[in-house]
Amino acid sequence: MPKWTRYDPQILEDAEKKLIEFTGIPIEKLKVPVDPYNFLYCLICGDPTNPPLVLLHGYGGSGLIFYKIIKDLASKHYLYIVDHLGMGRSSRPNFKAFDSSSAESFFVEPIEQLRKAMGLNRFILAGHSFGGYIAGCYTLKYSEHVEKILFISAVGIPTKPKDYDFMSELKGDWKLRWIQKLVMFLWVRNITPAFIMRIMGPFGKLFLDHMVHDRATSIGKEEENVMINYLEQINLLPGSGEYGLAYVLCPGAWAKNPLCQRIHSLKIPMAFFYGDRDWVKPDGAEEVLEKSNGMVLIYTITGSDHHLYWDNPKELTEKIYHALETLE
C-alpha cells in the first residue's frame, strides 16, 4: 500500500471483531479457495443441521453489513455470509470483464465454486442491492441448486422506461443536482467511490463519514463508528470487483440486462423486500409477479430506506421467515 493510504490491517481486524461481537453469536471465519489464486471470505454461523442460507452483500460492502439480522437468521438456518470476489475481505484480482455477461460471471462463478467447496446441494439464496442482482444471475445459471431466492432491495430488476433520462430526473437544489451530475460523469467513466476514497488518502475518511452517517441514522453512535472504520478499511484494499458495477448498471441503477426480463420464467419461489422510503422501487418485482408462473411475494418494511437490515431488522427478519414459510 502507498504511504498516502490510511489502510491499517489491525484497525480492520479490530473493527471486524467488534462487529462480530455486536451480532451476539459465535461466527467462524473461512477463506474458501475458488481457483488456484483466489478465495472468497465467508462467515459461517448457526446450527449445521438447519437448512443452509447463503447471504450476499451489496456494492462496496461486506457480509458483516448484516450484523443486526445475523443472529435471528441463524436461529433457524445455517448461514454462509459471503464477501463477493473483489470486495470485502475476499481476494482482489484484476478486474478484466469487458461486458455485462463477463462482469456477471466474475461474481457468479466464484459463488458456484464456493458451493462445491462447502458441499452444498440446495440452499436458500438471499442478496441485498447489488448482491440481490448477483443472486438473480447465479440462480439463472445454477437454478438446480437454489431452493428459494430472497431479493432484499435488489437493484437491476426493472426495465428502464423508454422515456427515462437521467438528467431530467435530477431533483433538489442546485448543489444536489450538481452532485448528481458529477456522479453520472464518474459512473460512465467507471471512477468508483472507493477509488476516490483511496486517492484522497487521510481525507478519505471524511468522505466515508458523510456517506455512512446519512445512511446509518438508525444505528447507535458506537456501532456507526465501528462500521465506518470497517468499511473504510475494506474499501482501501486494491480496487477489483467495484469496477463491475458500470458494466451491469447504467446511471440511475438501471440494469443493462434487467432481471425482470430473465427471472420470470424460473419456477423457483422468490420474495422481494423493500423499505417504505427506499430509493429502489418495487416496479421490477411487480413486473416479475405479473409474468411469473411461480410463486412471487412482495413485502414492504416500515420505517426503512435502502438499508432495511439497519433501519428495521426485526420486521425484516420476521417477514423473511413469513416469506420462507409461505413459499413452502
* DSSP secondary structure letters along 241-295: GGGGHHHHEETTTEESS-GGGTGGG--S-EEEEEETT-SS-THHHHHHHHH-SS-
pLDDT in tens, 216-270: 667 788 998 999 899 999 999 999 999 999 999 987 789 999 999 999 889 999 9
Q: What is the pLDDT of residue 192?
A: 81
Q: What is the pLDDT of residue 199?
A: 79
Q: What is the pLDDT of residue 306?
A: 94
C-alpha cell at 110: 466464484
What crossing angle do the helices spanning 100-117 and 130-141 adopt, rounded to 10°? 80
Q: What is the pLDDT of residue 25?
A: 97
Beta bridge partners, 296, equal: 270
* DSSP secondary structure letters along 86-110: TSTTS--------SHHHHHHHHHHH
Cα torsion 259, 264, 267, 272 to 10°: value is 60
- 46 lies in a domain? yes
The number of folded domains in the chain is 1
30 CB-near residues (< 8 Å, 6+ apart): 41, 42, 43, 44
Q: What is the pLDDT of residue 165?
A: 64
Q: What is the pLDDT of residue 109?
A: 98
Q: What is the CATH number of the domain that holds 282?
A: 3.40.50.1820
- 167 lies in a domain? yes
Range(s) of the domain holding residue 287: 9-326
CA 177/CA 188 separation, integer angstroms: 17
Phi and psi at 92, nearest 5°, equal -120, 70
- 180 lies in a domain? yes
97, 105 in Cβ contact below 8 A? yes
- 2 lies in a domain? no
- 3 lies in a domain? no
- 1 lies in a domain? no
- 285 lies in a domain? yes
The low-confidence residues of the chain, meaning pLDDT below 70, are 1-4, 164-185, 187-188, 203-217
- 198 lies in a domain? yes
- Which residue, 91, 154, 82, is CA-closest to 123? 82
Q: Label each residue of 128-185 as H, E or C.
A: ECHHHHHHHHHHHHCHHHEEEEEEECCCCCCCCCCCCCCHHHCCCCHHHHHHHHHHHH
